[in-house]
Structure 1
Amino acid sequence: MTPIYDLHCHSFYSDGILSPNDLVSRAKAHNVSYLALTDHDTTQGIAVAQKAAKDEGIDLIPGIEFSTQWYGRGIHIVGLNIDLDAESLINGVAKQENSREQRARAIAERLAAKGYDGAYEGAQKYSGSELLGRPHFAKYLVEIGAVKSVAQAFKRYLGAGKVGDVKQMWPDFDEVIGWIKGAGGVAVLAHPDKYDMTRTKLRLLTADFAEAGGEAIEVISGKQKAGLAADMQRIADMFGLHSSCGSDFHSPGQPWQELGAFEAMPKNARPVWEFWST
């Protein structure tokens, strides 16, 4: 049987639902052979996932999904086969965590100015092992009766243009690519079709990504419309990039992002795993 590589998924250490153990078990049930855990800006779940993967007979690729920006637009870059002890990675994760912390504090201060004191501590109750973000503040606002639902919390206080809409200032992606490569990893442009760009702008993004040292793009991200993988492969070929694939799994009940449940990569693709399997 042809091995299945799923090189993009999330656990409850970022915005996923499952524990690393349950994530690996689900991957095994869906016949995934090689799994990369790529939580947002953290590697906390990898050690647990590696142990579970060994027990399940799956190869676990250490990964991460860094938040970054390109001309003010939020872009995600996946790092694959990274050295978790590399100084560049540790420093990069710390910088991202500090950025998220400052944003959370700013949101709490703005909500306090509206009369909702204790929002930071209140939101923490809902974050668990996740990084603190607006959904947790929304749940706190529901808890204290400020709003009736999470949707209403975003509509009144946390959505675009509202008091709690604090913009995140992520590093430019040449810096992030440097963190990944400094950790011996491969930098992958995540889900390029999901940035809602024209093909001209997407080519400009990919050109800058390649020039900054990026080495691959996800030609497949979950279940896609017919022909999209071939389209993304043409862009990869245009800039001499390798190709990656992944479900971008977050939780059960989302069949369009189920682990391992996506089409095979185009036949002419140069798979990203060539970097570590040769």
Structure 2
Amino acid sequence: MKDFSERYDLHTHTTYSDGTFTVRELLNRAKYLGLKGIAITDHDTMEGIPEGKKISKELDLDFIPGIEFSCSYEGYEIHILGYFLNEKSEKLTSKLIELKKARKERNEKIIKKLNNLGLKITVEEIEKEATGAIVSRAHICNVMMNKGFVYSKGEAFKQYLGRNGVAYVEKGSSNPLEIIKLIKECNGISALAHPSLVCNSREKTEKILDILIEAGLDGLEVEYSSYTPKETKYYRQLATKKNLLKVGGSDFHGGNRTGVDIAKASIGKEEIGIILEKGYKEE
């Protein structure tokens, strides 16, 4: 087994959003693999963080409380990771309630489209599928598979739920500039997640990155499960060039993203010193 004793996976998801591992299952897996530390970065929710803090102490794991905000900018889907946010912030609480409501409204519209296509699914069924606070397209997909409407996740997203699918509904996403400002106001650290997925043009991605930096972005995800070695080198150099913190992780979703295990991408302790120092001070 690879030595992860000084490694940190700063991008994982649990059943509180669209992952299939509970917080305990995720942290147990991280401990088994020998990781030094791990972050939980569920989509648009921090409900798993108190549990994560408690269990990580039991397991002697460094724990980095986090979140992943789904945003859009000029038609591009952009995800912003936040670490060590003040969870007691009223502005943060209000924002998370707003995002949960927006997801609920989107899901209802998707279900209506599916029903009109003869695929009978109810809100109650997808809420039962989702054990956490966030109900996503992944949960709708699972219900569709359970009912035999589709045979695979790929089919569900290609034909129905993906951007070109017949039941697709645009998500009322956050503005990343506002999210970066919110993270700052919550004394947190922000990073652009998986920049390779923003768009096919590195030139355009870098222009967007510069705009995010101007808004106060702190870091860039330089290690990611789908990066090639050339991509990893490029993003590491880009982070150095832009004077950004280097963060990274697997984007683990359990059974909802096959072939990606915890620690498939990770970074060393020295690369996240500022983040860890902030966390230790908080404790």
Q: TM-score scaled to structure 2, two decimals?
A: 0.85
Whether 1:225 and 2:225 are equivalent positions in the alignment is: no
Equivalent residue for 2:245?
Answer: 242
In 2, Cα distance between the equivalents of 1:51 and 1:270? 22
Secondary structure in structure 1 of the residue aligned to 2:80: strand
Out of 255-264 and 72-81, give the one that drifted further: 255-264
Secondary structure in structure 2 of the residue aligned to 1:257: coil
Out of 25-34 and 133-142, give the one that drifted further: 133-142
The CA deviation at 1:146 is 5.2
Change in Cα spacing, 1:131 to 1:233, as seen in structure 2 (3 Å) is same
Equivalent residue for 1:18?
Answer: 21
Whether 1:45 and 2:48 are equivalent positions in the alignment is: yes
RMSD, aligned CA: 2.9
The CA deviation at 1:138 is 3.7
**Superposition pairs of residues 121-270 of structure 1, within 5 angstroms:** 121-129=124-132, 131-142=134-145, 153-154=156-157, 156-222=159-225, 224-251=227-254, 257-262=260-265
Secondary structure in structure 1 of the residue aligned to 2:39: strand
Out of 198-207 and 161-170, give the one that drifted further: 161-170
2:34 alignment partner, one of 15, 31, 34:
31
The CA deviation at 1:154 is 4.4
In 2, Cα distance between the equivalents of 1:30 and 1:14? 23
The CA deviation at 1:227 is 3.1
Counterpart of 1:29 in structure 2: which amino acid?
Y
Q: TM-score scaled to structure 1, two decimals?
A: 0.86
In 1, Cα distance between the equivalents of 2:103 and 2:162? 17
Equivalent residue for 2:275?
Answer: 273
The answer as to whether partners of 1:11 and 1:17 remain within 8 angstroms in 2 is yes
The CA deviation at 1:246 is 1.5
Cα deviation digits, residues 43-73 of structure 1 (max 9, x gap)? 1111111111000111211100000012111
Secondary structure in structure 2 of the residue aligned to 1:259: coil
Identity of counterpart residues, as a percentage?
Answer: 29
Secondary structure in structure 2 of the residue aligned to 1:5: strand
In 1, Cα distance between the equivalents of 2:256 and 2:44? 24
Which structure has more relative contact order (CA 8 Å, sep 6+)? It is 2
In 1, Cα distance between the equivalents of 2:139 and 2:257? 21
Q: How many residues align?
A: 277
Change in Cα spacing, 1:147 to 1:235, as seen in structure 2 (3 Å) is closer
